[in-house]
């Protein structure tokens, strides 16, 4: 399968993000992050084409970035936890200062050759 991503990604284990919330939608879990977008898991579906505000909390800073939902699919179904959706969101603007701070010294995954 050909890699379609233009930028490398940082997985959740390498991020210092303490909380991510979508408005509307509520709290989500980060899967990975790039300067152009974020992949998240949620208990609620995210309709492709819809608009959201991504609120990222890091230590004592909060950043809110408008984004569009590119894709969303059922990721897991658990009898006691319900359905988990995984969605890809594209930021309206590049988040380069935030990205540079998060990626400093980290090995990027899915980086293009």
Per-residue pLDDT of the chain (113 residues; tens, 9 = 90+): 444 555 666 666 766 777 889 998 899 998 988 888 899 999 999 999 999 999 988 777 788 899 999 999 999 999 988 999 999 999 998 776 666 666 665 554 544 44
CA 67, chain centre distance (Å): 10
Contact 45, 85 (CB under 8 A): yes
Instruction: Note the pLDDT of residue 52.
Output: 96
Global confidence as pTM: 0.77
Instruction: Note the pLDDT of residue 11.
Output: 61
Instruction: Note the pLDDT of residue 75.
Output: 95
* Distance between CA atoms of residues 107 and 50, nearest Å: 32
Domains contained in the chain, CATH given: 10-93 (2.40.10.220)
SS3 99: helix
């Amino acid at each position: 399968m050909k890699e379609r991503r233009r930028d490398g990604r940082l997985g959740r284990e390498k991020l210092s993000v303490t909380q991510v919330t979508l408005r509307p939608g509520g709290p989500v879990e980060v899967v990975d992050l790039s300067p152009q977008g974020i992949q998240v898991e949620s208990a609620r579906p995210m309709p492709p084409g819809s608009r959201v505000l991504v609120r990222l909390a890091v230590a004592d800073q909060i950043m809110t970035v408008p984004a569009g939902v590119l894709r969303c699919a059922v990721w897991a179904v658990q009898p006691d936890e319900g359905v988990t959706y995984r969605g890809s969101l594209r930021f309206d603007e590049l988040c380069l200062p935030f990205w540079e701070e998060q990626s400093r010294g980290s090995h990027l995954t899915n980086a293009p050759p």
